Every structure is written in C-alpha cells, then in structure tokens.
Amino acid sequence: MTGRRMLVVGAHSADFVWRAAGAVAAHTAAGGEALVLALSYGERGESGELWKDPNQTIENVKRIRHAEAEQAAAAVGAKFESFDLGDYPLRVGDEQVERLASLLRTFAPQVVLTHPDRDPFNPDHPAAHAAVALARQLSAGAGVASGFATAPPSEFLAFEPHQPELCGFVPTVFVDITAVMPAKREAMAAMSAQGYLREYYDQRADHRGNHARRVSGNAAIRQAEAFQRLIPNVVGAL
C-alpha cells in the first residue's frame, strides 16, 4: 500500500466522510496518500443546520463547511480541496472537467472513488459521477499512447449511496474498517452541519461488517464499507 495514491471525489464536502472515510483511513494507515476533492461545499442543499441562524450568509456557510471537511480529512490522514462549483444544481462544465482531468494527470492516483451514476433523490451525485468518469477517461487517454500527457488508468469504484437499492448499487468490494473505525467516527463528528447522519452511518458500518464477515469467514471484522467496481481489476491469479 505504501506509495499508492487515492482520489475521492464527492459532489459535496461531507460526502466522503459518510461513505468512504474508513477506506481512506485504512489506505493512509497502510502508508498510502489520499486526496479528497469536493466539487461543491453543499452550502445550499446540505447545510440546513447552519441556515437556522437568521443572520447566516452563504460565504460563511462555505467557510464553515471547508473547515469541517479539512478537519474530517485530517482525521483520516487525507488532504482536502474544493472546486467550489455550487450545489443544487451542481453543474460541471467543460473547463472544470479539464481541471479535474489535469488533477488526475498530476496526482496520478491508483484508485479513484466517487458516486454511482444514479440517485433519484440527489441531482448532484450523478453529475459528480459523470464528471469524474469523463475526466478519468481523458486523463488516461483510453490507456494507450496519446498526443497529450496522460496518467496510468486507475481503479475506479463507486462508494455506497444513502439508499443503495434505489441507485443501482451492488457491492463488489468490502473494506474492513474495524481498526480505523475510531478515525471514521472522528471524521463524522467533525461534520456538525450534518450531525444527524452520524448514527445512520455508524449503523451502516456495522451492517456492512456483518456482510463482510459472512463473505470472508473472518469473525474479527466488526465494521466495513461497501464499494462497487466500475472497471474490472486485473490480477495475476485467482
């Protein structure tokens, strides 16, 4: 794992925390490097607790959300960046797709995590998926020699959405996060603007831990996160 780079792209600044903070923590604990990119702060549609203040401003919400995300990313050993593209709706134009492709070429991650391509309740999540999928293709140049700078093709996975059965999400990978669950809980605690989600995702980690135990026979697994491979992985043997 040492030297491997992971890029996690969320539509909003807290998305990575609920869905992949454990996998990020496991990755960095093993010596990998992780970068979390939020395409927006979720300042309009995902910061309801902050808007209860009648004197609140959108710039202050962004500031708070940035600080929360930085704290959460630090808890799992990652760095945090935001493109600040606005939310509800999130619109990722050609210029921003190329900006994302450039980041992929420069950072050259071995693994990329983002949203699935469907979500009937959140329009920003599929928009993020489409942007990441296109940028990944452009950054790799279809995996062959090209007339522009490229990065090696990365593994490409979707993290688990809030309601997987309505998003076409089928787990193909479970990551054992038992050892790093305290770090995930610390990251979740940093997201005070969406504190109501902590219990749900704490329970979800237990549920996926149960599934991972059944799949693997490893009774030591208590918590896990689920992912769906979008591109086949290559191995030397089965």
| pTM exceeds cut of 0.85 | yes
Number of CB atoms found within 10 A of residue 144's CB:
8
- Residue in the structure block whose two tokens are 């960046």: 81
pLDDT of res. 148: 75
- How many Å apart are CA 7 and CA 36, to the nearest integer? 6
Closest CA to 187 of 111, 51, 80, 114: 80
CB 23 within 8 A of CB 177: yes
Lowest mean pLDDT among 26-30, 150-154, 161-165: 150-154
Query: Residue 2 pLDDT > 80, yes or no?
Result: no
Closest CA to 136 of 158, 169, 118: 158
- How many Å apart are CA 166 and CA 127, to the nearest integer? 17
Query: Residue 188 pLDDT > 90, yes or no?
Result: yes
pLDDT in tens, 49-106: 999 999 999 999 999 999 999 999 999 999 999 999 999 999 999 999 999 999 999 9
- Residue in the structure block whose two tokens are 């603007």: 193
pLDDT of res. 149: 81
Domains of the chain: 5-229 (3.40.50.10320)
